Structure 1
Amino acid sequence: MLQPSPPRKRRGRLARSGAASMALLAVAGYLAVQYVTGGAGAPGCKVASGEDGRAGYEFTPEQAVNAATITAVGTARKLPERAVTIALATAMQESALRNLDHGDKDSLGLFQQRPSQGWGTPGEIMDPTYSAGLFYDHLVEIPGYLDLPLTDAAQRVQRSAFPYAYAKHEPGAELLAAALTGRSAATLTCDGRPGPTPDKGPDAVRAALVRDFGHTVLRPAGAEVSDGTDAGTGTARFAGASEERTVTVPMTGGSGAAGDRETGRRGWQVAHWAVANASSLHIQRVTYAGREWTAGNTDSKWYPTGGGTKGAERAAGAVRITTSR
């Protein structure tokens, strides 16, 4: 038996109610996407092209930390930027740069490696430094991997059921690799809002530096901790220095133009690494090569320091990482 149609006014109310529900769902979906990709609604990070700044990639602080670790493990092995790009694109596809404790079958971690297939114990795979290192171990064994299309190189390591899925991540991975290897200066920024992690202070920063880069590369014994005052004067170097601590990481390299370029690149890698870890390690300020990033700025940019940037690129000095106590 046919039911009578609702009155016209009721139909209008139903239509308006349905439209409102759809609008709310759309807003909720937008906010969810913004949080996952590190958009304006989240304490996000972004990297821009060093050429014209038009191309960009947005991501969350969690993703930034993992991307920085993957990059540091690769450069500590003196692997080329292309290897880092392949690793980043692979992790972007496999886990969205998140250290997942679940996956298909027994897959785990950034690269969704499987204990049952000989990739290590669950505990080892869940260690980003270990899992990134193991990925690189397999990657460098592929003959001519640097000349292969990115998706082919990644697939030969991962043996995925979706062998062509890695290709779509190549543009974003290239931007991340350029910034996190230090080739592209002052291009990675984060809001830097403190995260819920308990690790903070200069000791936590130095431990994380050693974890990702290793003792040999950064020579952490030379990383000094200051209390934020100028030696001999007792005057505060930064505003609010009584509530801050600074880790100074010296940057030294070879002589000549080539040595200066390598030193500058390594310095920007550490500086960008520090910004990527700002939320997790409660880092408030990073200074290098005449430029400074400060947590909490709404525009989240690298600004010239008081002395300007002229000549700073040629004599970059040290990376200064200032944390909350």
Structure 2
Amino acid sequence: MSEPRRVPAPARRGRAVRFVAAFSALLGVAAYVTLHDVTGSMGPPRCVIGSGQNRYEFTPEQASNAATVAAVGSARGLPERAVTIALATALQESALRNIEHGDRDSLGLFQQRPSQGWGTPEQILDPVYASTKFYEGLEKVPGYSRLPLTVAAQKVQRSGFPQAYAKHEPDATLLSAALTGRAPAALSCTADATEGRPGDPARVRDELVRAFGARSAPKTRPGAESERAAGAPGSAAGGAPAARVELTVPVRETRVPRAERGWALAQWAVARAEELRIAEVVYGDRRWVADASSGDWEPVRGGAGTRGTDGSSVRLTLAR
């Protein structure tokens, strides 16, 4: 009988290394699952509108751009249908990303071309400007709100693939209902307000005015003292908790009901929270908190720092 074949030492070592690597990977997966079960964390920040079959999930970048497109349309007094057409167009042209490339010299959310008179590259890469130019074109289309979405979009865009806009209409409809305020508390987003730079009140004010107009300029007031423990990130010098900064955004009378206007402002703030470092949004008796694992709107339960609003304003609290 022949002797058992000996496995060379390098092979045995290779197997051991592979076993250790596989076991380490398994531990990593188990740790992630445990963290998810305990905290509800879903990893990178995300935004969601709708549920079940009528659900659209997207990134904070896409949410921020969608909110800008919707805000510009609302500020122009355009109907929700116009916003749906604009959002479906941007979904097809750029997937709601402000890209710096495209076919020939196409740029930005709507892939507008400087050579075709849409503006300079710098202007087109400004989402407010690009959205404004799209709506200006749409407003010149007679009866656009009664046309099929593909027809209305094509009359503005002159695309080589006009039927491609159709597949985005369901998602665009969900987005426009939320971001114009017709569907209250419909937008859920997760964001991290504990790390990174503090929120800049001047920048938030500027972005609000650019998107919604001067009537939406917020007022700044120092908020209550931070509830964080002394010495935590965001604390003032000497270990004392830093005062939080609150912006009160007025909800002015417009062509739409005040509640819709208020929710349009509130959900714009949630969609742009990651970029603008907004930690909390309160409108009426609903509250959104950036660090909440679900990213959902919750009822205001009372207590320090959690009071609601009377519907005439939206309250934003910036990250520290």
The TM-score bracket by the shorter chain reads 0.7 to 0.9
Q: 1:278 aligns with which of 273, 276, 281?
A: 273
Partner of residue 151, structure 1:
150
- Structure 2 vs 1, CA of residues 132 and 40 (structure 1 numbering), >3 Å: closer, same or farther? same
Say yes or no: does 1:239 pair with 2:227.
yes
User: Matches of 2:141 and 2:198 in 1, distance apart?
Assistant: 38
* Secondary structure class of the residue paired with 1:48: strand
Percent identical residues: 53
Q: Distance in 1 between matches of 2:302 and 2:195?
A: 35
4+ long deviations beyond 6 Å: 195-199
Q: 5 Å matches for 1:202-241?
A: 202-216=201-215, 218=216, 220=217, 223-229=218-224, 236=225, 239-240=227-228
Alignment check: 8 A CA contact 2:71 2:180 kept:
yes
Change (3 A) 1:242 1:214: same
Q: Deviation of residue 196 (structure 1)?
A: 9.5
Q: Confirm or deny that 1:306 pairs with 2:294.
A: no
* Equivalent position SS for 2:162: coil
Gap runs ≥5 in structure 2: 1-21, 23-40, 229-240
Does the C-alpha gap of structure 1 residues 169 and 41 become closer, same or farther in structure 2, counting only changes over 3 Å? farther
Q: Following superposition of structure 1 onto structure 2, how do residues 104-253 of structure 1 map, counting pairs within 5 Å?
A: 104-193=103-192, 200-216=199-215, 218=216, 220=217, 223-229=218-224, 236=225, 239-240=227-228, 242-253=242-253
Counterpart amino acid of residue 49 in structure 2: V
Cα distance in 2 for partners of 1:244, 1:201 equals 12
Q: Is the 8 A contact 1:70 1:128 kept in 2?
A: yes
Normalising by the residue count of structure 1, what TM-score does the alignment of the two structures yield?
Answer: 0.76
Moved more, 294-303 or 39-48: 39-48
Q: Which has the larger radius of gyration?
A: 2
Q: List gaps (5 residues or longer) in structure 1.
A: 1-19, 21-38, 230-235
Quote how far apart the aligned CAs of 1:251 are. Answer: 2.1
- Deviation of 1:106 (Å): 0.4
* 1:99-122 deviation digits (Å, cap 9, x = unpaired): 011001000000000111111111
Once residues 67 and 220 of structure 2 are traced to their aligned partners in structure 1, the CA distance between those partners, rounded to angstroms, is 22
Instruction: Assess if the C-alpha contact under 8 Å between 2:194 and 2:319 holds in 1.
Output: no
What SS does the corresponding residue of 2:242 show, helix, strand or coil? helix
SS of residue in 1 equivalent to 2:172: helix
How many residue pairs are counted as aligned between the two chains? 267
Q: 1:129 aligns to what SS in structure 2? A: helix
1:247–1:103: structure 2 CA closer, same or farther, 3 Å change rule? same
Describe how 1:25-40 pairs up with structure 2 within 5 A: 40=42
Q: CA deviation at 1:164?
A: 0.3
RMSD between superposed Cα atoms in Å: 2.7
Return the offset for 1:253.
Answer: 3.0
Q: Indicate whether 1:43 and 2:45 are aligned.
A: yes
Q: TM-score, normalised by structure 2?
A: 0.77
Deviations 1:280-304 (A, max 9, x none): 0111100001010001211111111
